[in-house]
Amino acid sequence: MHSWLLTTLRLACPVAAVGLPLLMLYGVLVPWQVAEDTLIEHRGSSKLLLGSSSYWHSGNGHQSETTSRTYLIIPYSLSTFNAVTVVSTNGRVEVASSHFALLAILMGYALSVYGTWWFWVRPAKQPGDVQHRRYPPLDTDSKSVAPRRCLGLVTLSVGRHEGEDRMHHSSGSR
């Protein structure tokens, strides 16, 4: 992988892993009155903020402002596995329920927690650790070219003169 991608993931994963709980806390501490009035049938339920967006557009003499917030409503969302989104466009309010939104948010959060563990918490490999099975250690005594199949990719181990390092080449052809 490219180092810029790894660096981006290394920084983005903990931001997302910490950001969602902070967003939920913000939603509890600063409730959106439009959603409170619209979701009156869920009064008394816990509404955890999962996402928020705001969009302002001006053109042809018209102005439009759209604000939306997506909530996990406990216990409603746990029984139906749906996220509830409240959208306000110029004062007109709509409510949508989406199974996909909740699934996408939960999977994204799980991946950010896993990425945080992978980049920041996971123990580093020690010098004596066994190599990953996909890349077995190269034989330093052989002077032959031995093709191997590895996940559908052709991998070549090329022997060099005695005392030199071994080359490991992988091509993308199948």
> 116: burial class by Cβ within 10 Å (0-12, 13-18, 19+)?
buried
Question: How many Å apart are CA 50 and CA 102, to the nearest integer?
Answer: 9
CA distance 16 to 22: 10
Poorest-confidence range of 2-11, 43-52, 102-111, 163-172? 163-172
The per-residue pLDDT for range 13-31, each reduced to its tens digit, is: 999 999 999 999 999 999 9
Domain boundaries, the chain: 3-121, 136-174
Can you give the pLDDT at residue 1?
53
Tell whether the model's pLDDT for residue 75 goes beyond 50: yes
Residues 150 and 167: beta-carbon distance below 8 Å:
no
